[in-house]
Structure 1
Amino acid sequence: MAYRDEIDRLLAQYGEQVRTAFLSAIDDIANSVTLKVIVERLERGDVNGAIEAIGLDPQAFERLERAIADAYAGGGEAEVGNLPAIREPSGARVIFRFGTRNTEGERQLREHSSTLVTRIVADQREAIRGALSEGLAEGKNPRATALDVVGRIDRATNRRTGGIIGLTAAQERYVASARAELASGDPKRLQAFLERERRDKRFDRTINAAIKSGSALPAELVTRITGRYADSLLALRGEMLARTETMTALAKGRDDAIRQQIDSGKIANEDVTKRWRSAKDERVRLTHRILDGKSAPMDGFFVSPSGAMLKHPCDPSAPASEVVGCRCFMVYEVDRIGVAVRKMQAA
């Protein structure tokens, strides 16, 4: 199987697991809240207490961390399966295996996952704080403010939808401005909402009718449309997080798999050349188009035109501008002849 096909297969398999784990955590948080407690604290003006009552605990994302660990293992196992057939001077085949129970790999993966979850929780707290504070400042009903955050019960599923839990702080601002556009009754601002890419287009006809008649949308409809928009942004967040974190875990697993073979003496550093491969389409960032096809020794770095140094695509130590949404991958080229000569010399 070609490398690109294998990467796509792994991304589809593990990316869905990561996406589902993230969205399940958000669903669990939203549906575990006690609305009465949040409303009571908002009535006292206690925004911090209301945030605490929502229960944004890192422990809620344990399934997400496990899904990322599974992607790491899947990447490593796939890479050893791609290594060329090599034999010892005796004729015995060299067996390549990937072990997830390696101290350094486990430590780095645990640190990355912990940092990710900490960032997710902190960003959600900021987003929720902004929404609650704005609601109080505007004199909005505390219950309505709380529902805008945690979502409203969908009678069909008996689950909460349309809240902002899980969104980034930037996405929460998009939701707030979309709600203001819809509630304004201003034809120009309603038209601005129709230019939002992630809107639910099933409401376009209704919004266009309001624009033509110059009438305001009913408050209940504003809430429903805004909720659908928030749900769409949450889906986007899940997709982007899943792609970035899955590609990062796969890349790290594949790199560690090669390093394990080196550490065990089955191949040597000098036997391996890394080669950067991009997705080769218009969505590839310019810096990675330039890196496409470039090679480096196993312990070498790829120097982006931005100045960033990457050990491999989706290197978690690189700036987010070089990692988020990246679909590039590494090809590890093993010099079979070099390995054979070295083993003969050592025999």
Structure 2
Amino acid sequence: MASNRSIFEQLLDKYDQTLAEAFFQGIDAIKSQITLKIVVERLERGDIAGAVEAMQLEDEAFSALEIALREAYNAGGVSFVENLPKLKDPEGNRVIWRFGVRDYAGEAFLRDHSAQLVTRIVEDQRVAVRQALETGLSEGRNPRSTALDVVGRINRVTGKREGGIIGLTSPQERYIALARAELLSGDVTLLRNYLGRGRRVKRYDSVVLRAISDGKPIPQDMVTRMLDGYSNRLLELRGEILARTETMMAIGTARENAMRQQIDAGKVASQDVQKIWRSAADGRVRHTHRVLNGQAVGFDAAFQSVSGARLRFPGDPDAPVNEISGCRCHLEYKIDYFASVVRQYRAA
């Protein structure tokens, strides 16, 4: 029988990919439906707000992401109860563990969290796009070039827009802006700064090294190709982190709610349930979670991070983002089934 850790990792890997694909699907939908001509016309009039609106950055583009989040939540709860040990009540009947996917707590989480998630993505998109358009026009780039730097350029092989700003966070948009300034500067120090960017496309490093040697800026067309590649990699990182964080949150919440449902149904007592924190046990585990590894608390209690944050479980949506972003930890639920059976027997 698979261990709790391997079951959890299998779920995480599966829905990690599902959520990432749903996120990228939303980004592709937005990019593919942009009418470039309208965006350019509005930029030519200096109407940046109108250009942003013309891109139609709307919540509905991410409906697949909301569906994927629900699927991850449901799978997390079902898997949890399926792997609870077999138990008989005082009369010898088998205790049936069930997960109600439509209970109030679950519906509230899926409704509120998914709506907030999509709203945050879209609002941050608007900020990033507006920043990029303002920077492009202020630097004197023509409206068409500025628009393409935001929406991406069509790959003649795939027929899809690649590069650009759409899909990136507003801080990532600033990375692109700074990288552009570095590559066009011709300044040795700034060019070397670019070579320190971890998500750059390294096959272009020879171009940068030659520019450093010659003391000349890199041609605009080459900078465009380099930035498109850099943007694609930042978008990939964005999707990876978002998918991992949201999958952890959905599965962790589902497991917690599934255990709560068993308690509310009288199948086990809350005082007989312990939660034990298990880290991913590798060098990527954040310090605060490495400290938590192996710690146990009661079911109704929370773990106390050395950062001061309180977490009911890894991926707790109520915890600060620096405690849940990219987290790969999980909980082991230790249940004293014998104590629960005895308690039920005495109550009967």
TM-score, normalising length: structure 2 = 0.97
User: CA offset at residue 222 of structure 1?
Assistant: 0.7
Listed as ranges, the gaps of 5+ residues in structure 1 are none
Matched, 1:58 2:59: yes
Distance in 1, Cα, partners of 2:291 & 2:263 = 29
User: CA offset at residue 239 of structure 1?
Assistant: 0.3
User: CA offset at residue 265 of structure 1?
Assistant: 1.4
Distance in 2, Cα, partners of 1:177 & 1:18 = 30
Letter matched to residue 208 of structure 2? I
Matched, 1:337 2:345: no
Does the 8 Å CA contact 1:178/1:226 hold for their aligned counterparts?
Answer: yes
In structure 1, the partner of 2:210 is: 209
Query: Over the residues paired in the alignment, what is the CA RMSD in angstroms?
Result: 1.2
User: CA offset at residue 293 of structure 1?
Assistant: 1.3
Does the 8 Å CA contact 1:11/1:247 hold for their aligned counterparts?
Answer: yes
Distance in 1, Cα, partners of 2:201 & 2:249 = 31
In structure 2, the partner of 1:264 is: 265
In structure 2, the partner of 1:116 is: 117
What is the number of equivalent residue pairs in this alignment? Answer: 347
In structure 1, the partner of 2:223 is: 222
Distance in 2, Cα, partners of 1:138 & 1:189 = 18
User: CA offset at residue 213 of structure 1?
Assistant: 2.9
Letter matched to residue 72 of structure 1? Y
Distance in 2, Cα, partners of 1:216 & 1:139 = 17
- The Cα offsets for residues 190-217 of structure 1, whole Å up to 9 and x where unpaired, read as 2221221101111122322232233332
In structure 2, the partner of 1:161 is: 162
Matched, 1:197 2:198: yes
Distance in 1, Cα, partners of 2:99 & 2:243 = 23
Distance in 2, Cα, partners of 1:128 & 1:251 = 33
User: CA offset at residue 317 of structure 1?
Assistant: 0.6
In structure 2, the partner of 1:278 is: 279
Runs of 4+ deviating beyond 6 Å: none
User: CA offset at residue 112 of structure 1?
Assistant: 0.9
Letter matched to residue 217 of structure 2? A
User: CA offset at residue 115 of structure 1?
Assistant: 1.0
Q: Secondary structure at the residue paired with 1:62?
A: helix
- Pairing of 1:31-180 with structure 2 (within 5 A): 31-180=32-181
Does the 8 Å CA contact 1:152/1:162 hold for their aligned counterparts?
Answer: yes
Distance in 1, Cα, partners of 2:110 & 2:330 = 19
Distance in 1, Cα, partners of 2:105 & 2:202 = 49
Matched, 1:182 2:183: yes
In structure 1, the partner of 2:288 is: 287
**264-273 or 142-151, which moves further after superposition?**
264-273
Distance in 2, Cα, partners of 1:271 & 1:236 = 41
Q: Secondary structure at the residue paired with 1:273?
A: strand
Does the 8 Å CA contact 2:268/2:337 hold for their aligned counterparts?
Answer: no
In structure 1, the partner of 2:14 is: 13
**133-142 or 144-153, which moves further after superposition?**
133-142
Distance in 2, Cα, partners of 1:116 & 1:239 = 15
Q: Secondary structure at the residue paired with 1:98?
A: coil
Letter matched to residue 337 of structure 2? R
Letter matched to residue 103 of structure 1? Y
Distance in 2, Cα, partners of 1:108 & 1:13 = 21
Distance in 1, Cα, partners of 2:86 & 2:236 = 43
Letter matched to residue 64 of structure 1? L
**33-42 or 210-219, which moves further after superposition?**
210-219
Does the 8 Å CA contact 1:84/1:334 hold for their aligned counterparts?
Answer: no
Listed as ranges, the gaps of 5+ residues in structure 2 are none
Does the 8 Å CA contact 2:105/2:257 hold for their aligned counterparts?
Answer: no
Distance in 1, Cα, partners of 2:179 & 2:3 = 44
- Pairing of 1:228-239 with structure 2 (within 5 A): 228-239=229-240
Distance in 1, Cα, partners of 2:305 & 2:110 = 24
**84-93 or 27-36, which moves further after superposition?**
84-93
Distance in 1, Cα, partners of 2:288 & 2:211 = 45
Identical pairs, percent: 53
Does the 8 Å CA contact 1:29/1:56 hold for their aligned counterparts?
Answer: yes
**110-119 or 336-345, which moves further after superposition?**
336-345
**237-246 or 319-328, which moves further after superposition?**
319-328
Distance in 1, Cα, partners of 2:166 & 2:310 = 34
Q: Secondary structure at the residue paired with 2:102?
A: coil
Letter matched to residue 142 of structure 1? P
